[in-house]
Structure 1
Amino acid sequence: MGKTPLAIYLPNTQDEDRFYRVSEREIIKFRAELNLTENDILCSWITRPYEDRWSSVGLEAWLQLAEVDRRMHLYAVGLPQSLLTIIADSDIDIRNRVYLRESLDTDCELRTCYSASDLFLHSTKIGESFGNVIAEAQLCQTPAIVLSTPHRTNAQVEVAGHGVGGIVVRNLAGYCEALRTLANDKDIRVQLGMAGRKRILANYSPGQLVVDMAAVFDICVHCRRHAMDLPKALAMQGLATQYSSRALHAGYRDISGGLSLLSAVLLSMRAPLSKVASLNSWVYPRWHTRGWEFVSKHWFKFMEKFKSD
């Protein structure tokens, strides 16, 4: 493609057969085991206990709201010791509304937890290269609140889909506002949940990524033949991100001041977000094992086309 090396990142595949909203009976059973009422708000946070990865912003926002709203409950899986210490230092009334698990080991456990939750929380210091847990929660129709990290890896903002499948915030104040608003408005939660599942399937299903990968090959060959600028060509086809750090700050400033969160949700159905997960970077295609088998079966469909090129 020229002297400047270029690589392209396609998102991780998401399988709708593994993650979907479970039955109402299963949801009621899960919440009953926690002694939750219909009006209680269950937030889930599913992580791995890596100390240097997770930000306390999401937890601090939940604690602030939990102090004044006894409906707030938290189901936390795999928290690192630093976050466990914050919980241990809180009032006993709040600690009694936190349910800790070291891990959830099966897809069944995960999708039941996602489905029974009203909101999925996510905040990281270093961002995500994709963010599977966010996509999995949305496949179970649970909206996510994610923290933007524009100066680090920041794929979570595209996976969440601001105002479509979740809410993107910039700081603790924004997180508190988003959490409070969604906790108090079931209609918005349902709207985000339904739209989020549709968006994940539209952008990250194995079949769609096969189509996207074929399109990338097609564009690469075309650009090479006609000496065209590859990043620009990919962006024109909706296959490359067009977000900059400045655009991210401008786009999400309404979450910590300005427009109300409800207005932000209703007005954010703008141009589709990128199908490239990593912001301001180009990296090689990545596939999870569960998606690769599907992709390999369809490889011949477009590789034959390029053998003669």
Structure 2
Amino acid sequence: MSARIISIVQNLRRRGTQRAAYRYSSMYKEYYSKSSLLAIHGGGRFEGEVRESGIDLFLGGNTAGEKECAIREGAKWGPDMIHIHREGGGEQGILRAAEKICKKIGKKIPIVETNVFARVDRSEKRRLIDVHFLLTKWCLWKWMSWGRDLNPTPVGTVLPYPVDRRTFFPSPKKKINRFKKEIGLKEKNFLYTRVGGSGPSKWKNTTINSFEKIGKKYDKVNLLMVNPPAKIKKGLQALPKKVNSKVKILDEIRDDERLKDAYSASQVFVHSSKIGESFGMVLGEAMSCGTPVITLSTPLRDNSQVEVVGHNEGGLVAANQSGFERSMEMLYKNEKRRKELSVKAIERVRKNYSEKTVKEKLVNRSEKIMWCIKNNKSVSKKFSSEISLNEIDKWVREKLKKSIGKTGFGKRVAMSLLHRPKIYSTFKYVKGVFK
């Protein structure tokens, strides 16, 4: 089946959503030979990379005229399907652009959405979207729970981000030793590492508090923190001198080769975030390099990290501070288990998040959707049988049981309540009033 698929994003700045849109567009091009990308608000840091790939590119800008021109060019390109990428229901500009393309073409073509944060669109325009792609099963549960009162029921399915295994794989020993020497760490010391964006909400003191106990107890350990925000730096500086001397802070690593070496040099990747993850690309990259992950469960926020890592699969899931500390010590002392998890982490990424696996899912879902629209068949019937809300609700509850430490009863009750549409909307309103 030949098809022309246009993807729509806000811009081409080097952020997770935009990079994923580019990766999906590349997959469309590899399979269908033609693919295009429309950036409503203009280009960004990886505009050149997109052009070099051979993907047709339409750039808008800051003015209404520039945006309209890009949309017009996108419509002239003659797409058979539109794939929008947005954080969720609040970003209406991208959906309006898709609607305008359909009007200019003069016929109904499928519109699919990658919904990054599982935010439900309650506007009337939501009916334009045929299928919503959620990054994980956990995201799908959140989205289905919050949208259970909508009529008609929107259609959702899981389509994860791809992890680039051609870039992220275990570095050789010589490169690892060179990296450690360059940043001033001893080759034989045990290394815990955390890499993340500089936003404060993506970090949590759990890692610092846990390492304080590890650092006091064991001599040959280090903690590498890459790109931490000011508040986390302050917390690290406040550690006792004996522990603080074992901490190394680096600025953001933009070079993928050097980032691969950082992952590979680490015995364990430690991850704790206030707001959790809707996917967590750093987790997949670390696992692809053979580094097992310890991640903190955050059931009241985004919590896809527990699924991406998988307890006793790509690493360990900790339910609380105590579980995080125990996990860090467990993998420090148990080399055999650490090595087993290293092998399983690589295999987990290959099986679930490799470009090959994600591309097969992307193409399979896209062709189903285009066939339904072309033949005037129900898209919802094609996808609604994948999983029910009751089934996925049961899966979430079972997932919470798989961890070091237990998720408290209060958290489990709060999680259930906060994923009921009316209660959640009331909670958001009250939170906004007192913010």
TM-score (norm 1): 0.74
**RMSD in angstroms over aligned alpha carbons?**
2.6
Equivalent of residue 264 in structure 2, options 115, 120, 124 = 115
Alignment pair present for 1:191 and 2:340: yes
1:245-256 aligned within 5 A: 245-252=396-403, 255-256=404-405
How far apart are residue 219 of structure 1 and its match?
6.6
Q: Deviations over 1:185-208 (max 9, x none)?
A: 111111111111111011111221
Q: Distance in 2 between matches of 1:9 and 1:164?
A: 20
Q: Distance in 2 between matches of 1:22 and 1:134?
A: 17
Q: 1:235 to 1:216 in 2, by over 3 A?
A: farther
Partner of 1:65: 214
Partner of 2:171: 22
Q: Deviations over 1:208-241 (max 9, x none)?
A: 112223444577659x65975844x2239xxx96
Partner of 2:203: 54
Q: Deviations over 1:214-270 (max 9, x none)?
A: 444577659x65975844x2239xxx9666553233222xx127xxxxxxxxxxxxx
Partner of 2:387: 235
Equivalent of residue 186 in structure 2, options 36, 39, 42 = 36
Which of 1 and 2 has greater Rg?
A: 2
Contact (CA 8 Å) 2:288, 2:345: kept in 1 or not?
yes
Mark the runs of 5 or more structure 2 residues left unpaired by the alignment: 1-129, 131-150, 407-418, 421-435
How far apart are residue 62 of structure 1 and its match?
1.4
Q: 1:41 to 1:246 in 2, by over 3 A?
A: same
Partner of 1:138: 287
1:3-14 aligned within 5 A: 3-14=152-163
Mark the runs of 5 or more structure 1 residues left unpaired by the alignment: 258-279, 282-309
Contact (CA 8 Å) 2:177, 2:187: kept in 1 or not?
no
Report the secondary structure of 2:200's partner residue. coil
Percent identity at matched positions?
25
Kindly tell me the number of residue pairs found equivalent between the two proteins.
251
How far apart are residue 79 of structure 1 and its match?
0.7
Q: Distance in 1 between matches of 2:309 and 2:400?
A: 16
Q: Distance in 2 between matches of 1:210 and 1:140?
A: 21
Q: Distance in 1 between matches of 2:394 and 2:254?
A: 36
Q: Name the structure, 1 or 2, with higher relative contact order (CA <8 Å, separation 6+).
A: 1
* One-letter amino acid of the counterpart of residue 302, structure 2: T
Moved over 6 A (4+): none
Report the secondary structure of 1:75's partner residue. strand
Contact (CA 8 Å) 1:161, 1:196: kept in 2 or not?
no
Partner of 1:203: 352
Equivalent of residue 45 in structure 1, options 185, 190, 194 = 194
How far apart are residue 97 of structure 1 and its match?
0.8
Alignment pair present for 1:150 and 2:299: yes
Q: 1:229 to 1:192 in 2, by over 3 A?
A: same
TM-score (norm 2): 0.53
Equivalent of residue 273 in structure 2, options 109, 119, 124 = 124
How far apart are residue 51 of structure 1 and its match?
1.6
Partner of 1:263: none
Q: Distance in 2 between matches of 1:46 and 1:226?
A: 40
